[in-house]
Structure 1
Amino acid sequence: MASFNSYKLRCSIPGHEMDVRGLAATVFPEGAFVSVSRDRTGRVWVPNSSSDKGFTEMHSMSGHSNFVSCVCIIAPSETYPRGLVATGGNDNNICVFSLDRPQPLFTLKGHKNTVCTLSSGKFGTLLSGSWDTTAKVWLNEKCMMTLQGHTAAVWAVAILPEQGLMLSGSADKTIKLWKAGRCEKTFTGHEDCVRDLAVISNTEFFSCSNDTSIRRWLVTGECVQVYYSHTNFIYSLAVFPNSQDFISTGEDRSLRIWRQGECSQTIRLPAQSVWCCCILPNGDIVVGASDGIIRVFTEAEDRMASAEDLQAFEDELSKATIDPKTGDLGDIKLEDLPGREHLNEPGNRDGQTRLIKDGQKVEAYQWSVSDGRWMKIGDVVGGSNQQTSKSVMYEGKEYDYVFSIDVNEGGPSMKLPYNVTDDPWLTAHNFLQKNDLSPMFLDQVANFIIENTKGHVVGPAQPAGGDPFTGGARYIPGSSSDTAGFGADPFTGTGRYIPGSGPNPGAPVGVADPFTGGGAYSSAALRQTTNIYFPKTDGVTFEQANSSQIIDIVFPVLDIMRLAVRHPQVNESLCGEAEGVQLCNHLLNLMRPEGRPANQMLALRTLCNCFSGRHGRALLMAQRETVLSRAADLATVCNKNIHIALATLVLNYAGCLHLQPDLEAKAQCLSVASRALETVQDKEAVFRLLVALGTTVASDQTAQDLARSLGVSSQISKYSSVSDPSKVGECCQLLLKELQ
């Protein structure tokens, strides 16, 4: 392996009172970063002006009513030129801060459980993941989409820089790729909870897991490399600017630095859980741990801590206690360990651990390539001679400890009995169940037990015991654990539907109605007029029919209803409160992907025609989410008439939503139209989808920002040069201009 400069401690920052759970480098001030903690605060740290080796707290941010679990930076905008800070917490909320005030600008509510991961994208898009098994897309204080598909907590999310692609990793062991709110692909390979994701490029990303592995993936689905070095859960990842090298942290008390595909350096910390990490613009590494300390490491000699501080850090590390049952040191047999003379032999790689016996003690050492020596990283505990005698009585039984736990501020303390042979996570789980307390306190209680029983046996993790992070069995490293030929529209006798025969009264004189084709079309005339394509707020309907064919087809009733529903009285009768939902459910049933193409098309056309009346519009707006979701599935059916009907339905929804403030509904229109453009080929269907997109974003800056974040511009740019029919290219160009 090529030689690299070794990272050494730059400084330790003891600002938080509890675990540091999230870190993020800020855009401003230069060289600063934000940390968040279970002490319910976030803190902004700036380089110390009097010494480039340390950091000073700029201010503390508060707003959460429970632990703060994650943080990310929202890029600068015209409104907020210094960017924003978003934090997620166990109170199920997301708080968004500016960098110059301690209270949140606004709070995002919508998740039903802990928000444990955040990622920001272009145009202010924010992606969140939660224990409620969902991810949500936020923009301008509104939830625009909810990504549903995982079956367990979503521990990690990431937004790819281009193409509008998003990633989520879950305790269900899978990673999902999302585009425009739809799951495009599921990645499998990890054997336990996926804890973090890190973007490498538009086409690649890293993932890490409780299974002790790191994987490198292509967005096309292939896992191209698996990295092993950690001996316990891996919690966080960060990628260097070269987009190849990266860092990782985990439950094995370590920060690991990966160069050219190999672990080039292992830095042990005097804390069990190294929860989070980030990389500063100058290449320095920041890590946060369960002891509440933030530590910064650097490879620049002029920023390294003094010799005295480096020695103090090493001394602190050497005094740590290590329980072999945690798996931090791999599979070991204490009775077979050599003596101190074993330290005279050099190690084979940086971070290699070696256990030796020193009298009655067992000590752990780690090989440092940069120093050319073995560094003590702690004393190994857990021998049977270290058990204490039971001396505390509680409810008629003897225990090693009986703790008083204060979970609710101001409330009475609760008693928690514990024996050193018990599993702390199982004990904490039983304690919470017995006292009817929220499971969100699980790892706080378990860590309290661990911290207050150091130096004593921590009972073996039981296979049936709950993993505090996944809810599943706790992982112990080392253990075994027929449409193509549908042809022309039988009701118009053509392959392309022309809705209506008269010109659009809203079209300029001398310019063809783009939906009817009526009038003398002139490109020159178009250039002299305003946008004739969107927004289009009057509904497009399917009015023409071939009466002789209606008589002969198998399902004449559906097509007659499609025509009749345009009549005001029929529209009121079929779409009113009494019959409307029943009609809608019947049409949705006919639209199932496995259904007959004729039924699918007629159902879509009937829905489009329902928009012609007040009662039909009200019905379909009330049923929007279900109708559009079912309709979107028909984009994969290889039938151009179905595609035209689908595009028309989306367009009619977009028209009804124009100038309305319902951003979530507009987001669904954008999503369905964008997804349909992935498969639709017919130019008329493409045109109507483009008009639907234009109508959705016209006069709505937030909808425009969302469309940009979904990658709509890059998706539709291929249509800008379409000249047959010319309306496709011209509409596309106008839409691209709108999204600039």
Structure 2
Amino acid sequence: MASSNTYKLRCSIPGHEMDVRGLTAALFPEGAFVSVSRDRTGRVWEPNASPDRAFTERHCMSGHSNFVSCVCIIPPSEIYPRGLIATGGNDNNICVFSLDKPEPIFILQGHKNTVCTLSSGKFGTLLSGSWDTTAKVWHNEKCMMTLQGHSAAVWAVVIFPEQGLMLSGSADKTIRLWKAGRCEKTFTGHEDCVRGLAVINNNEFFSCSNDTSIRRWLLTGECVQVYYSHTNYIYSLAVFPNCEDIVVGARYHRSIRAHEEIISLITFPFWHNNFHIVPFTHSDGIIRVFTEAEDRVASAEDIQAFEDELSKATIDPKTGDLGDIKVEDLPGREHLDEPGNRDGQTRLIKDGEKVEAYQWSVSDGRWIKIGDVVGGSNQQTSKSVIYEGKEYDYVFTIDVNEGGPSMKLPYNVSDDPWLTAHNFLQKNDLSPMFLDQVANFIIENTKGHVLGQATPAGMDPFTGGARYIPGSSDNGPDLGADPFTGGGAYSSAALRQISTNIYFPKTDGVTFEQANSTQIIAKIKELNNNAPQEHRLSEDILECLERLLVSVCAPNTEPPPNMQQINSLWKASHWPEDIVFPVLDILRLAVRHPQVNECLCGEAEGIQLCNHLLSMMRPEGRPANQMLALRTLCNCFSGRHGRSLLMAQRESVLSRAADLASVSNKNIHIALATLVLNYAACLYNHADLEAKAQCLSVASRALETVQDKEAVFRLLVALGTTVASDQTARDLALSLGVNSQISKYSSVSDPAKVGECCQLVLKELQ
């Protein structure tokens, strides 16, 4: 049930020179909070010890070159026991401050447009959302991941406290759920941009939108309830400590609501809050703090002064959701003698030539003036309008301030209305408080104009036969072999007698060595005989492939490969995708040889090889090619040139490889896990946290779908190697929820190495 108490004004806090854009509770001292403003500053406020119910400015923070739009607190750490303050601004940057210093201790750069929302998680993780349509995950001073998928500005982000899950809400009307950098689910239902998100518990969250609704969602995707108690844009919402009641801030509704019941009417238009004492802000730069504690309520004089100031506000009937107004039909001031029917009810009256808006307050038993209603903006539209030498679908005339000069706003239907509004306000040096008003004006007046629509077991799994199996040895597939040497399986029971951790860190690469040369060549010749004439390999190329295969499989007894053989291999590797797999098997084996590794992975040819293998790894590609391309990449790590190539191409290689986690093929999963492990081995003792973050992300993503225990084991070794001796990587793994994700493997006894390795990784993460 909602609280029955009423929130009343506690105090008004002057200090900022322009409108306040964000507020959040500070961790120290008790009762303090942080505000950020369009005046480019942030300020820390602490409650006075005296009984005047006010707050004192602790210090002013500066660092942004343009207005500051959002703020959040990063939890305490050993280095910063009082936590940190992160602010996002219109300069596209995030400034991070300690509680006691006015200058930022570091600045996070990477977004390409305004940073408009921030959320913090455990272990120093920070999540940001921006007008550039992305969200970014930061740790310390680096961007660990960029979350891409939204098609419009990201207005809201939040981190779930336990599971390593993240949410983002966007002007594209969707909410996305992210796990380890991957979009796990998209929530649809809102009919306008999503403005706020709030976590209820580990399985549920609220969202609010410009469509005037609040929705309650399950993480599984279901919307379990929709609240329509507001009649205009809802900017934000917060959940009370009881995890049930919510407070909501909406344009022109001017109330605090707990679910559908209004618990207090506060006649003020904007809401920027994340804690249970409710501050409201306005363009005058004054922060108003509201309280339900009777002993903290402001004096009657202060409350009256506040209401007098509110009554001077102006309301646009279009954005104020007041509908079409005919002044001659409105009642006079006597209409205010009749009580309202419900808290928050709006009533318009005529006072001479003016129209005034009032709302009913149940707690006060009276109508409170909330502003004067002024005429809405006029529009002037036509097709193919020329403005400043360019052709536009629309050119609107915007009157932002009554009596001020009008301004022209050009717009094409292919443009993003929110970005257009943002740029318009910047160009004309207007307050961002008009952002929603301008953007929704565009949307309302261009409705109807849309763009074009977007566009068996035991059998050879690759040919349908039961003969050649890519990657297998003369003794059959390498399943069950020592995953790091290719030799016979070892006894975990014997290994348990060793007191040291023999699983990780792994510092050398793992390769796929097994081969059946006779069957590989026989398969190539068979496919070549049946291939169309234009795709048949010459006898010279076939001979070169055979000699090359012998050379790389017996490097100590055969002459090294020559350039003719290597060139023949490269040419043959571009065979049609339905028959190229045995050539890829030779390529897998060949890149282990020093001469081949240097030639194919060198500075000139390496990118071509990498791109070719990535093309074979497309999710819609053939499983044989996917597996062999992954194994070839793993084997490239055996040479210096291959390692340099793959480290340089890490981001694209691991991103494409991660897409194969959803393929139901255990051999592909083992190859994918091995690739992640090889990257982790190369990164051990390196301070490249961004690269380690990608390894953690791909490993976490793969563990969501991989079932094969050998693949799980290699992923566990990769995780252990990544976090070993690296506190920052460990904290990042914890923030991604890796510990809870892998805990189910700690009791696995068949094979025992899985359970043992898992226990060691969990110990490392403690």
The verdict on a shared fold, with TM-score over 0.5 as the criterion, is: yes
User: Which residue identity is paired with 2:363?
Assistant: S
The reply to whether residue 277 of structure 1 matches residue 273 of structure 2 is yes
| Paired amino acid for 1:308 | E
CA contact (8 A) 1:499 1:541 kept: no
Task: Provide the rounded CA distance (Å) in 2 between the counterparts of 1:711 and 1:339.
Answer: 62
1:318 maps to amino acid:
S
Secondary structure in 1 matching 2:274 = strand
Local SS of the residue matching 1:277:
coil
8 Å CA contact retained: 1:604, 1:645: yes
* 8 Å Cα contact 2:2-2:263 kept in structure 1: no
Structure 1 counterpart of 2:146, one-letter code: T
Instruction: Map Cα deviations across residues 315-357 of structure 1 (whole Å, 9 max, x no partner).
Output: 2222333332332435544333223333233222111111122
Higher mean C-alpha displacement, 307-316 vs 90-99? 307-316
Match of 2:346 in 1: 353
Between the aligned partners of 2:437 and 2:323, the Cα distance in structure 1 is 21
Counterpart CA distance in 2 for 1:649 and 1:717 is 23
- Change in Cα spacing, 1:52 to 1:184, as seen in structure 2 (3 Å) is farther
Rounded to whole Å, the distance in 2 between the matches of 1:733 and 1:46 is 45
CA distance in 2, matches of 1:564, 1:52: 80
- Provide the C-alpha distance between the structure 2 equivalents of 1:383 and 1:610, rounded to a whole number of angstroms: 66
Contact 1:197–1:207 (CA under 8 A) maintained in structure 2: yes
Tell me how far apart the structure 2 counterparts of residues 370 and 629 of structure 1 sit (CA, whole Å): 57
Aligned partner of 1:391 in structure 2 is none
Q: Do the aligned partners of 1:15 and 1:292 also contact (CA within 8 Å) in 2?
A: yes
Residue 675 of structure 2: aligned partner: 649
Distance in 2 of aligned mates of 1:336 and 1:480: 35
- Summarize deviations over 1:142-166 as a string: whole Å, max 9, x none: 1111111111111111101121101
SS at match of 1:666: helix
Alpha carbons of structure 1 residues 316 and 48: separation in structure 2 relative to 1, 3 Å = same
Q: Does the Cα contact within 8 Å between 2:195 and 2:236 map onto a contact in 1?
A: yes
| AA matched with 1:531 | N
Following superposition of structure 1 onto structure 2, how do residues 124-523 of structure 1 map, counting pairs within 5 Å?
124-252=124-252, 254-269=253-268, 274-279=270-275, 283-330=276-323, 332-382=325-375, 426-427=408-409, 442-443=424-425, 448=430, 473-475=442-444, 491-492=472-473, 494=476, 497=479, 516=487, 518-522=489-493
CA distance 1:209–1:115, shift in 2 (3 Å): same
Say if 1:418 and 1:427, in contact at 8 Å, map to a contact too: no
Q: Which amino acid aligns with 1:160?
A: F
Residue pair 2:213, 2:230 contacting (<8 A) in 1 also: yes
Kept after mapping to 2: 8 A contact 1:88/1:115: yes
CA–CA separation in structure 2 for the residues paired with 1:470 and 1:668: 36
Q: Deviations over 1:153-193 (max 9, x none)?
A: 11111101121101111121211111000111111122222
Q: Residue 360 of structure 1: CA displacement?
A: 3.8
d(CA) in 1 for partners of 2:677, 2:52:
58
Question: Which of 594, 598, 611 is the equivalent residue of 1:572?
Answer: 598
Please list the CA deviations of residues 82-141 of structure 1 after superposition, one character each: whole Å capped at 9, or x if unmatched: 111000111111111111111111111111111111100000100011111111111111
Using the TM superposition, give the Cα deviation of residue 288 of structure 1 relative to its aligned residue in structure 2, in angstroms: 2.0
Amino acid at match of 1:126: L
CA distance in 2, matches of 1:299, 1:480: 48
Specify which of 538, 542, 549 is matched with residue 519 of structure 2: 549
Contact 2:175 2:187 in 1 (8 A): yes
Change (3 A) 1:2 1:173: closer
Q: CA deviation at 1:306?
A: 0.9
Count of aligned pairs: 673
Equivalent position amino acid for 1:47 in 2 = P
Q: Is the 8 Å Cα contact of residues 498 and 516 (structure 1) preserved in structure 2?
A: no
TM superposition shift of 1:575: 1.1
The match for 1:631 among 635, 651, 657 is 657
In structure 1, C-alpha distance between the alignment counterparts of 2:638 and 2:646, rounded to whole Å: 11
Cα distance, 1:652–1:284 mapped onto 2, change above 3 Å: same
CA spacing shift, 1:691–1:448, aligned 2, 3 Å: closer
CA distance in 2, matches of 1:246, 1:477: 34
Letter of the 2:714 partner, please give it.
R
CA contact (8 A) 2:2 2:261 kept: no
Provide, for residues 684-738 of structure 1, a one-character-per-residue CA deviation record: whole Å limited to 9, x for no partner.
0000000011111111111101100000000000000000000000000000000
Deviations 1:514-562 (A, max 9, x none): x755555435x52542110011111100001123432343532111111
Q: Tell me, which stretches of 5 or more residues in structure 2 are unaligned? A: 378-397, 451-455, 528-580
Matched, 1:660 2:631: no
Is the deviation greater in 241-250 or in 54-63? 241-250
- Seen in structure 2, the aligned counterparts of structure 1 residues 725 and 348 have a Cα distance that, compared at 3 Å, is same
Paired letter, 1:497: L
Q: Does 1:702 align with 2:672?
A: no
Counterpart of 1:56? 56
1:484-543 Cα deviation digits (max 9, x unpaired)? 976796514656535679x96xxxxxxxxxx755555435x5254211001111110000
* Letter matched to residue 257 of structure 2: W
CA distance in 2, matches of 1:274, 1:418: 18
| 709-718 or 106-115: bigger deviation | 106-115
Percent identity at matched positions? Answer: 75
TM-aligned CA deviation for residue 469 of structure 1: 7.3
Deviations 1:644-702 (A, max 9, x none): 11111110111111111111111111011100000000000000000011111111111
* Contact in 1 for aligned 2:238/2:248 (Cα 8 Å): yes
Give distance in 2, aligned partners of 1:679 and 1:644.
Answer: 12
**Structure 1 residue 361, shift from structure 2 partner:** 3.5
- Establish whether residue 584 from structure 1 lines up as the match of residue 610 from structure 2: yes
Pair 1:533-2:503 in alignment: yes
Q: 2:395 matched to which residue of 1?
A: none
Instruction: Tell me the SS of whatever aligns to 1:196.
Output: strand
Question: Do 1:365 and 1:377's aligned partners in 2 also have CA atoms closer than 8 Å?
Answer: yes
Q: CA shift at 1:227, angstroms?
A: 2.1
User: Which residue type is aligned with residue 719 of structure 2?
Assistant: L
SS in 1 for 2:496: helix
Give the structure 2 partner of residue 404 of structure 1.
none
Normalised TM-score (structure 2): 0.82
Q: How does 1:718-737 map to 2 (within 5 A)?
A: 718-737=744-763
**For 1:369-400, what per-residue CA distance to the aligned partner results, in whole angstroms no more than 9, with x for missing partners?**
1122222222333399xxxxxxxxxxxxxxxx
Cα gap change, 1:316 to 1:542, in 2 (>3 Å): same
Aligned residues of 2:130 and 2:154 also touching (Cα < 8 A): yes
User: C-alpha distance in 2, partners of 1:444/1:422?
Assistant: 17
Deviation at 1:567, TM superposition (A): 0.8
Secondary structure, counterpart of 2:318 in structure 1? helix
Does the 8 Å CA contact 2:21/2:68 hold for their aligned counterparts?
A: yes
User: 1:656 is aligned with what amino acid?
Assistant: C
Corresponding residue SS for 2:761: helix
Classify 1:194/1:472 alpha carbon distance in 2 versus 1 (closer, same or farther; 3 Å): farther
Q: What is the CA–CA distance in structure 2 between the aligned matches of 1:198 and 1:597, rounded to whole Å? A: 42
Amino acid across the alignment from 2:261: E
Can you list the C-alpha shifts for 1:576-597, whole angstroms capped at 9, x where unaligned? 1222111111111111111111
CA RMSD of aligned residues (A): 3.3
Gaps spanning 5+ residues in structure 1: where? Answer: 385-415, 452-460, 505-514
TM-score after normalising by structure 1: 0.84
Distance in 2 (CA, whole Å) between partners of 1:362 and 1:372 is 22
